[in-house]
Amino acid sequence: MGGLAQPLDMNNHIETLTSSPVSGLSGEMLIPGDKSISHRALILGGMAIGQTKISGLLMGADVLSTLEAVRALGVTITSDAGIITINGVGTGGFIPPKAPLDLGNAGTGVRLLMGAVAGQPISAVFTGDASLSKRPMKRITDPLAMMGAQIAYTPEGDQKGYLPVTITGAQPPLPLSYEMPVASAQIKSAILFAALNARGQTIVTEPHLSRDHSEAMLSHFGVKLTREMLEDGRHRITLEGEVDLHAKDIFVPRDPSSAAFAIVAALITDESHIRLPGISLNPQRTGLITTLQEMGGNIVIENQRIEGGEDVGDIIVKSSQLSGIEVPAERSASMIDEYPILSVAASRAKGKTYMPGVAELRVKETDRISVMAEGLKACGVEVSETNDSMTVIGAGAIKGGATIASQHDHRIAMSFLVLGMVAQNSITMLDVATISTSFPDFAAIMNKSGAHLEAGVKL
């Protein structure tokens, strides 16, 4: 079936997308820039001394929220012909914002900026949308308080650690030695950003290595970090403060977490063959590719190279019959955002896919275990869950025919739209504007390759 070729402007009041069965996805898909690297480029570019030019920045809603917040902290940011120019103010140069910093849906943006503000002599109020206001923030603010920052939640938000929160930076922050309770790049990054202004050694230890884009970018800006893998698998970073960041241009590779939707779509639809050029192959982000290959997925990486200091490659995917597997729990940090789309792939695989060690999914944009389980069941797929695992029993035929609310979670919305491509009856997703969080042209890019995603307004 042919796709809608015209671009869909996700900001233009499109409220629903209906995905119908297709085969033969083909061609080259240009996936947008990496969200994690984009947030860090704006924040650290703003804290560097001198001018940073960024190419490939993701122009998604989350990153634009961070961009506006960094501007509100006194940093001049301009854009010309796809290049973003930041005039950094140094590690202590943020000014108090005139209004609360509204980070919208951006969990990474709010958490990393909290760390940056906690190390500077200013106060800022952090707010977000309904979904972000129900996500735990104490995992970030507790260590920042230990560094001397003052943290004030509202009386209603205090118990759970929900936004809004006011952070008054420590003058100066104290170095911290911190054992993280979970492997989280956001906690790690917030502490490291605050530590830039703390005199002495800050040591952060995490149970497994989470994505290391902050460490890579700090090194890129001239900060000396020591990184060690301990014998028991824990990972430790030592940063010696106070330290300046020296501006340097940044290249943002294409986002493997967004590529994941195209990869699974091509694997599970018949007669598909796509190419995704220039995708980040950071080893802390490639867990899904490894998993899908173990399931029998025909995924080949070509032209592996370093671009702008980042590992990238072209990913070629062909339709494949997948088989269920047990996904190693210790792999979860390297594919934590990919479990919703993996559970879609698992629905089409032969046999059972068991995904243990994924409790963190319950505190993402939604409780992704229960939202995926509920939606898959509505589409006729057999799923079970425990507090920290999900099991999907693959079915040859998927009934589909459901209307599912995205619950303001971009990855939930895109996952079910991919499922709709192989269901017997089309699947309608409500509240799809959330997709612009990370992948604004998702519908247009998928349709150009042969998908059939049709836009509508709410019934």
* Footprint on this chain of ligand S3P (rule: CB under 6 A): 36, 108, 184-186, 189, 210-211, 336-337, 360
| Shortest distance, position 98 Cβ to ligand S3P, whole Å | 27
| Shortest distance, position 92 Cβ to ligand S3P, whole Å | 23
User: What single-letter DSSP state applies at residue 140?
Assistant: H
Q: In what order do the strands lie in the sheet with 200-206?
A: 177-179, 200-206, 235-241, 225-229
Q: How far apart are CA 179 and CA 205, in angstroms?
A: 5
What is the distance, to the nearest Å, from the Cα of residue 2 to the centroid of all Cα atoms in its chain?
31
Task: Name the region of 291 (left: φ>0; alpha: ψ -120 to 50; beta: rest).
Answer: alpha
| Shortest distance, position 370 Cβ to ligand S3P, whole Å | 17
Which of 337, 409, 431, 441 is the catalytic position? 337
Query: Of the two residues 108 and 449, which places its CB atom closer to ligand S3P in the complex?
Result: 108
Residue identified by tokens 């809608």 is 4
Angle at the Cα of 46 from the Cα atoms of 175 and 305, rounded to 5 degrees: 95
| Shortest distance, position 38 Cβ to ligand S3P, whole Å | 9
Q: How far apart are CA 343 and CA 327, in angstroms?
A: 11
Query: Of the two residues 8 and 63, which places its CB atom closer to ligand S3P in the complex?
Result: 63
CB-based contacts of 125: which residues, under 8 Å, 6+ apart?
97, 100, 101, 164, 165, 166
Query: Of the two residues 361 and 451, which places its CB atom closer to ligand S3P in the complex?
Result: 361
Closest to 366 measured CA to CA, from 109, 129, 34: 129
Query: Of the two residues 138 and 275, which places its CB atom closer to ligand S3P in the complex?
Result: 138
Residue identified by tokens 């149970």 is 207
Q: Which two tokens stand for residue 53?
A: 């030019």
| Shortest distance, position 260 Cβ to ligand S3P, whole Å | 12
Query: Of the two residues 339 and 416, which places its CB atom closer to ligand S3P in the complex?
Result: 339
Phi/psi for 382 (5° steps) reads -85, 120
Q: How far apart are CA 107 and CA 91, in angstroms?
A: 22
388 is catalytic: no
- Report the catalytic residues: 337
